[in-house]
């Protein structure tokens, strides 16, 4: 009886830790004197995990372990091990450990991601509160992004400005904001479709509007795929009730109205921007143009060449900038100008893993993701909230083909991966 009560109490602590990470950290974006906002966010995550670890030590005799010896965790550890090994072959070991200035995604940050994943796997969710608080943070981030789009900056800080009318909200960059919204939109959809939460519909509306404001095409594709994935999984896993069909219709109507209003407000910018997606796809796939995808075609081709140079351990985590610049600076400056010569990420998460830590690292990572998605499919029948998590993860994986991993958003993805692959899901439908 004591063990059961202790395990329940520790699970509540786990839920609180995850909830605080998902709801508070996204709102930390202002610099404090000499402390960069990324440092503050990572410091907040580190503090939460440190507190969690101390409490875990207290409960360890009762809970036994928070790390199951299954295939998913085994491949996760294999991935982390090969990243550590690649660090020793890095051109700049210190940078691989701490991370590139302004990025801070070295091995230390990656460890925080993996720790959050493990904690997420042990989290036995008992109510919708974790998703509700996550959505509240998403609404606040979205509203601030919309304010920026219309020229209102209540916090004058260079960290959150400098992209013209494209908002970055609390995420430093419009592309990162788009990535975050791809993760949030399916959560709001879940709360509205399955729980009739008006907050879910409101959250969807403001998040979707903010997503359009970012003009981030990779996030648009990820967002569309996530919603499509949500609907398909819902249809295949559960019988869609008439009331839910009605709510889907409301979401569809809200989507059309928002798109029409946004396109009108921006003098047709939405349609023009959206049409460039197919143009870029044609340019890259058919014509092999370097200019496709805002010059991503140029970067991808050169990164693939670099992967061939160091296929086993790569150039080192966060160590793309110098070798890329050494090889292609003259070519970049001649074609696009000196301001375009700074490239420290591959603008494709999968290529970036391969070029910085090697092809084996990418293969292990992809197999780990496959195992998580497979486990997620098994969990879909256990509880409806897995549909929202699955759609969020799927959307993120799509946008990752055109975007980069950053601490401002990646930790949310890793938490969702953990929650999706849990073995401790409740067998009862959660209440409001």
What are the domain boundaries of the chain? 2-272+349-420
Number of Cβ within 10 Å of residue 326's Cβ equals 9
Q: Which residue, among 382, 318, 381, has the nearest Cα to 352 in the 3D structure?
A: 318
CB-based contact 382:431 (threshold 8 Å)? no
CB-based contact 137:190 (threshold 8 Å)? no
pLDDT at 336 (0 to 100): 72
Residue corresponding to tokens 């893993």: 353
CA distance 45 to 244: 37
CB-based contact 148:177 (threshold 8 Å)? no
What does 80-130 look like in DSSP terms, one character per residue? HHHHHHHHHT-SSHHHHHH-STTT--SHHHHHHHHHHHHHHHH----SSHH
Residue corresponding to tokens 């295949």: 236
CA distance 88 to 414: 25
Residue corresponding to tokens 């509700």: 132
pTM of the predicted model over 0.75:
yes
pLDDT at 425 (0 to 100): 47
pLDDT at 337 (0 to 100): 67
Residue 32 bridge partners (DSSP)? 35
- Blockwise average pLDDT, block size 10, the chain, 432 residues: 74 94 93 76 96 88 73 96 95 93 93 96 89 97 94 67 76 94 98 92 97 94 96 94 95 97 92 79 60 74 94 96 89 72 87 97 98 95 93 97 94 97 59 40
pLDDT at 114 (0 to 100): 97
pLDDT at 224 (0 to 100): 96
Buried-exposed string 26-64: b where 16+ CB fall within 10 A, e elsewhere: bbbbeeeeeeebbebbbebbeebbeebeeebeebeeebe
CB-based contact 309:361 (threshold 8 Å)? no
């Amino acid at each position: 009886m004591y063990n059961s009560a202790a395990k329940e109490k520790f699970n509540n602590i786990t839920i609180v830790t995850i909830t605080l990470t998902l709801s508070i950290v996204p709102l930390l974006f202002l610099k404090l004197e000499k402390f960069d906002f990324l440092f503050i966010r990572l410091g907040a995550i580190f503090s939460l995990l440190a507190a969690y670890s101390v409490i875990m030590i207290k409960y360890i005799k009762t809970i036994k372990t928070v790390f199951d010896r299954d295939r998913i965790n085994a491949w996760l550890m294999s991935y982390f091990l090969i990243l550590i090994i690649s660090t020793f072959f890095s051109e700049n070991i210190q940078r691989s450990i701490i991370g590139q200035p302004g990025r801070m995604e070295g091995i230390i940050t990656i460890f925080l991601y993996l720790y959050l994943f493990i904690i997420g796997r042990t989290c036995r969710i008992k109510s919708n509160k974790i998703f509700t608080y996550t959505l509240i943070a998403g609404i606040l981030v979205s509203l601030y992004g919309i304010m920026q789009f219309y020229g209102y900056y209540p916090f004058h800080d260079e960290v959150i400005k400098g992209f013209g009318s494209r908002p970055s909200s609390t995420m430093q960059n419009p592309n990162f904001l788009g990535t975050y919204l791809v993760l949030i939109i399916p959560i709001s959809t879940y709360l509205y479709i399955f729980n009739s939460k008006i907050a879910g519909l409101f959250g969807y509306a403001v998040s979707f509007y903010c997503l359009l404001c970012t003009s981030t095409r990779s996030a648009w594709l990820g967002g569309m795929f996530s919603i499509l994935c949500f609907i398909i999984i819902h249809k295949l896993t559960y019988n869609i009730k008439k009331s839910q069909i009605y709510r889907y219709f409301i979401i569809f109507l809200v989507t059309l109205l928002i798109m029409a209003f946004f396109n009108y407000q921006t003098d047709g910018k939405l349609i023009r921007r959206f049409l460039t997606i197919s143009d870029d796809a044609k340019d890259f796939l058919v014509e092999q143009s370097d200019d496709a995808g805002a010059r991503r075609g140029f970067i991808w081709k050169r990164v693939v060449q670099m992967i061939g140079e160091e296929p086993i351990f790569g150039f080192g985590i966060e160590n793309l900038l110098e070798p890329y610049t050494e090889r292609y600076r003259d070519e970049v400056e001649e074609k696009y100008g000196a301001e375009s010569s700074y490239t420290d990420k591959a603008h494709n998460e999968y290529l970036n893993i391969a070029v910085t830590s090697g092809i084996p690292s990418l293969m292990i990572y992809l197999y780990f993701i496959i195992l998580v998605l497979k486990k997620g499919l098994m969990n879909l029948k256990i509880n409806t909230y897995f549909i929202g998590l699955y759609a969020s993860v799927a959307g993120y994986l799509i946008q990752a083909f055109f975007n980069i991993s950053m601490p401002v958003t990646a930790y949310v993805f890793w938490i969702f991966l953990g929650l999706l692959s849990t073995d401790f899901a409740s067998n009862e439908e959660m209440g409001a």
